[in-house]
Amino acid sequence: MTQNLSIMIHNNKLLRTLILSVLMSVTAVTTANATVGDKFKVGQLFYKVTAETPNKEVMVAPQGDYGYTDESEKPTGDITIPKTVNSGGVDYNCHVLNNSCKNNKKKK
């Protein structure tokens, strides 16, 4: 009986380890694999992924394209567009600006 209980406990630990490993792998893949067209918000600005390779690149999403749908989402004050932005642990280069952002652009 003790030997059977020991085997059951060992198998339970293996099953929990396997499940945890699978969940961690799925989370890492979904977080790190943004595709062109994916959108996210950091600070006051919304960004759209424009390139995955060779470098991960984004542009500031234009009003109406994504986000900024109501007054509370619109950026206020001085806006600084960074050279890079991080989302989900991934760094993206901000290299493209929408036409509406070209005036008064200021990079950190």
Sign of the C-alpha dihedral computed for residues 98, 99, 105 and 107 taken in this order: positive
pLDDT of residue 14: 63
Q: Is the pLDDT of residue 97 over 70?
A: no
**pLDDT tens for each residue of 28-80:** 444 456 789 998 999 989 999 999 988 899 998 877 777 777 788 888 888 88
pLDDT of residue 31: 44
Rounded Cα gap, residues 100 and 59, in angstroms = 12
pTM over 0.75? The answer is no
